[in-house]
């Protein structure tokens, strides 16, 4: 089945494609940078259609609860204003991209792009009905963003060719994809988009 991008109804949500989550970063997703050419093609198509493009980012304070020194499980990453928190330089975000910063409260973890942000409000204001989600990492921030999008009633597509996961425990990524689909997300690749 082919899907046509609809201006005013569709949004592309790119999750956390930041320097720290790519090879060489503080918390690299294996092959995280390999999805950038695909994401750029999605960006090109959505931009050409006049559809909304959103990029989420971890924007942690230096004392964030997710960091090991503060009781979390991760090394410090995506600290506000650092090189590692920047979007990957290969990602071609348009000038009118909506940037959503998340996980800024030092005492709260926030994997989802919706948690503690205005993302839902922005999408509703724009009349968005369908969201197309790709980025990093599949079983953490992508999964939680997808599940929240479904919870808020958006028709939700997982860009299967534009996500990568960490797979801390082998099989985590596969399980995450199964859960997203079970909850109602549809898998999609670039070839299925007109």
- Quick: pLDDT tens for 16-43: 999 999 999 999 999 999 999 999 999 9
Q: Which residues are catalytic?
A: 16, 102, 141
Query: pLDDT tens across 36-93, in order?
Result: 999 999 999 999 999 999 999 999 999 999 999 999 999 999 999 999 999 999 999 9
The fold for domain 10-192 equals Rossmann fold (3.40.50)
pLDDT of residue 71: 95
Domain boundaries, the chain: 10-192
The pLDDT of residue 40: 98
pLDDT in tens, 120-170: 999 999 999 999 999 999 999 999 999 999 999 999 999 999 999 999 899
Note the pLDDT tens digit of each residue in 96-113. 999 999 999 999 999 999
- Looking only at the bridges linking them, the beta strands covering 10-15 and 130-136 are parallel
Which of 155, 138, 132 minimizes the C-alpha distance to 45? Answer: 132
| Phi, psi angles (nearest 5°) of residue 121 | -60, -45
């Amino acid at each position: 089945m082919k899907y046509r991008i609809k201006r005013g109804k569709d949004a592309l949500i790119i999750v956390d494609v930041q320097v720290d989550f790519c090879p060489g970063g503080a918390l690299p997703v294996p092959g995280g940078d390999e999805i950038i050419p695909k994401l750029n093609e999605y960006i090109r198509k959505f931009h050409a259609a006049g559809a909304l493009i959103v990029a989420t980012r971890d924007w942690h304070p230096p004392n964030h609860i997710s960091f090991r020194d503060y009781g979390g499980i991760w090394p410090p990453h995506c600290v506000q204003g650092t090189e590692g928190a920047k979007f990957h330089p290969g990602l071609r975000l348009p000038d009118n991209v909506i940037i959503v910063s998340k996980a800024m409260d030092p005492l709260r973890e926030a994997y989802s792009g919706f948690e503690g942000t205005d993302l839902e409000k922005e999408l509703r204001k724009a009349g968005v009905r369908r969201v197309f989600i790709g980025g990093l990492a599949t079983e953490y921030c992508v999964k939680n963003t997808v599940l929240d999008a479904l919870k808020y009633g958006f028709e939700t597509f997982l860009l299967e060719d534009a996500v990568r996961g960490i797979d801390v425990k082998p099989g985590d990524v596969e399980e995450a994809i199964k859960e997203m689909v079970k909850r109602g997300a549809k898998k999609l690749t670039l070839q299925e988009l007109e």
